[in-house]
Chains A and B, each alone.
Chain A
Amino acid sequence: MRTVESEIGAILAGSISEITQRSIFRRLGGMARAPLQHLTTQDRHAIQTELESSVRLFAPAKSAQLIASCARALALLGAPGGPADPYPGSSLPAGPFAVHRSGTHDGRTAPTGSTGSPAMGGDKRLAIDSEKDIASARLEAWAEAVRIGLSKFTSVKVATAVSELARNIVFYAGRGTIELRPRQDTRETRLEIVAADQGSGIEPEKLDAIFAGTFRSERGLGKGLVAVQKLVDEFQIDTRPGRGTRVSCVFRGAR
């Protein structure tokens, strides 16, 4: 049986780690394991949107190619040659994804956008080396959230999430970075937060236990990650034992 998990998994293999793929498919819920031919056009659009943001975050160098392959797999396998084919041909789909095609998302500079939306200012990279950096990182994140126009409530959530991520870096990896990437398109303002370290990583079994709610560390690593996941609009974790951890998340605000 061909499912989203099997077909998309084959495309992402080699570009995105298995652990990250699992967290991507977890976000799709039941759709990931449903037979492809049972998916409606709407489902496939939703899946493609999810895959697109994940691919951009985790395989920026190959994102265009992977996104196109995913779109083809979803359309061609789900409705072979039929009129419902949402992504005819080999080009990237128009529709909701067109706004992301300016290519600025992978870059270090802010997008100006083809629609003439105002620039959001550059990305900020914060070094997290000690407990003192936790407080300054969350203040910085808060200021950034307010600056790009996220609501007061969302800005406090941003600061709280950054606080959790910075704490995990200091407690478990010793040092790392948190990047704040403001983005804006015609539909929304987003703040992407990427926390990265070269610490010892998290074992796959431990990661599963954390998100299943059965894992408790002495200083609350599990709680922190789960809390972040509950606060954000998009959440991805990529971790390799011995190599490090990278948590990417997104807060959205209306324009």
Chain B
Amino acid sequence: MKLRDEQELPIIRVRGCLLVSIQTELHDRLAIELRSALMERVRLEAIRGVILDVSWVEVIDSYITRILNDIGKSVRFMGADCYMVGIRPAVAMTLVEMGVELDAVSTALSLDAALEKLELPR
């Protein structure tokens, strides 16, 4: 598998939310860039939620979990919600066994489900 690790992750706006589909190796620099890009757009565009799509990610270790959680925390500090969608069953079971925590990120089964939850009046 070829890793496109020099590339910025595309952020797509959909129904008042920001969607990032993670299809590459998340490393320090990329994660920091993604976090600041997301925060900037949440502020400028009055975004209600951020959705991280991990359906392409086949392995999530404790380090990647921490990065996702940090992004969730930052987005929440801004006043928006952060959702992770499309987590694979084996990945979910592995995370449970490892005992890692993802407390700053809500989860939803699919993109549709996350958008629905984000559109409910808060």
A residues sitting closer than 8 Å to B (CB atoms) are 131-132, 134-135, 138-139, 142, 152-153, 156-157, 159-160, 163-164, 167, 219-220, 223-224, 226-227, 230-231
Contacts and interface: CB of A to CB of B under 8 A. Distances in A.
Interface in B40-95: 58-63, 66, 88, 90-91, 93-94
Contact of B66 (A131, A142, A163, A223): A223
Given A131-B27, A227-B99, A230-B99, A220 B63 contact: yes
12 contacts: A139-B1, A142-B59, A156-B88, A156-B93, A157-B94, A163-B63, A219-B63, A220-B63, A220-B66, A227-B62, A227-B98, A231-B97
A224 B94 contact: no
A156 B87 CA distance: 13
A160 B1 contact: no
B97 A157 contact: yes
B100 interface: yes
A160 B60 contact: yes
A242 B80 CA distance: 46
Contacts of A132: 3, 5
Looking at chain A's contact residues, the main secondary structure is: helix
Nearest to A223: B62
B25 interface: yes
A240 B91 CA distance: 33
B90 A231 contact: no
Contact-size category for B:
20 to 34
Given A132-B5, A153-B90, A223-B100, A159 B59 contact: yes
Nearest to B66: A220
B98 A230 contact: yes
A138 B59 contact: yes
A111 to B, nearest CB: 29
B52 to A, nearest CB: 18
Contact of A224 (B60, B61, B97): B61
A231 B61 CA distance: 11
A156 B62 contact: no
Contacts of B62: 164, 220, 223-224, 227
B3 to A, nearest CB: 6
Given A163-B61, A224-B61, A156 B98 contact: no
A219 B27 CA distance: 12
A138 B61 CA distance: 10
A160 B61 CA distance: 6
A153 B91 CA distance: 8
A200 B112 CA distance: 48
A154 to B, nearest CB: 9
A138 B1 CA distance: 12
A138 B91 CA distance: 14
Contacts of A152: 90
